[in-house]
Every structure is written in C-alpha cells, then in structure tokens.
A and B are shown apart, each in its own frame.
Chain A
C-alpha cells in the first residue's frame, strides 16, 4: 500500500515569508507526527496528533509554528515569517498502534 507522502519535496523561500508543508499519512493511521532534522543532526520532535487533536505540541519551537489536521487524514505544518534557522528537513510520520512510518520529508531552505 501507499506510504506516507509529503509535499513539496523541496521548498526555497525568502526570510520573512510564510510556508505550508503538507503530509498525507498512511490510510487508517490515527496518529500523525511532525519532526525536524537540521543538517547533520538527529530528529527533533515538533507535534503529535491523535485523530484531529494534538495531545502533545511541546516541540513547536515558537508561536511562528502551527499545525492542523483535518478529517483524521491530511496535516499541514505552517511556518510564519520564516527565519534562516528554520532551514531543515521536515519529516512526517504516522502510526496505528506502535510503529511510526516516515515520509520522505520536505527540505526547506530559507534564504
């Protein structure tokens, strides 16, 4: 079956612009996660959805970051007024019971 998909695969933006990143989880997976990976670093948790609610959003680094999930399916991560330190690969994962499956990521470059 289809895995987790993310779009766009690459995004280049100018400092100060807003960006939206999209994640389509595996069909039927109720849990959805966003992580961030800076160059050469490990993965940094951002937010966890169970259905449409977000029981853990403790990883969002600032109020410029927000995420929503509609219909227990697609999720969008929005970064407002992007900064150069936001440059990273943004990874989405989904799970049903325990194993998290990751998408290919969106590489965000802020100039």
Chain B
C-alpha cells in the first residue's frame, strides 16, 4: 500500500494562533483529501486537493504532488477547530480506497 505520514501528531494552540499541518505520502496519488473529525466523531470534508492550492475561509491547503506532500493551513484558530485532522489519499485513480494518515490532534484553548 501507500504510506501516509502526518505531522505533528498533536498540536495545542491558543485561540487566534495560526498553524500548519503536514502530510507526506510515499507514492504518486490522483486523489488527496483533508478531513476534520469533530469531537462527536463526524468526518467533515475540508478539501479535495490532489494538486495546487485552495482556500476556504480561514483554511487553505497546498499539495505539491511532485514532491509528495500536502499542507493544511489554519489561520486565526478558534475553539471549534479542535479535533483530529486527517489526510487521505487514493493511489492510481480518483476512485478507490482512501489510505489515511494517523491524524493530527488539534486542541485550541480560549
């Protein structure tokens, strides 16, 4: 399979701080997604971003496919940003099983 490594594993921030989460993957991919798993367990889609840069409000993501990494930026963090952030990839197609990283546990304090 394909290896997906996320860093850091844990991140603790004060409200208002900025952060960068990283995802490295071991092979070329045709599909990369970022998810936020909230404290109730729901997986929320953040970005579909196999390459390039996207922004959605305070969140943005960049994937450099040729160097096999993706970055998720969170600006002006809020307590509601707390949870686990997962990066997941599909190898060889846009459809098929997602290979997940182990996630980054983010805690934002007021």
Contact = CB atoms under 8 A, between A and B. Distances in A.
Interface of A: 31, 33, 35, 41-43, 45, 48, 50, 56, 58-59, 89, 91, 93, 95, 97-102, 104-105
Interface residues of B, number: 22
Main SS at interface, chain A: strand
A23 to B, nearest CB: 14
Contact of A102 (B43, B90, B101, B102): B43
A6 B33 CA distance: 22
B98 A33 contact: yes
A12 B11 CA distance: 34
B78 interface: no
A102 B97 contact: no
Nearest to B30: A98
Contacts of A100: 33, 45, 98
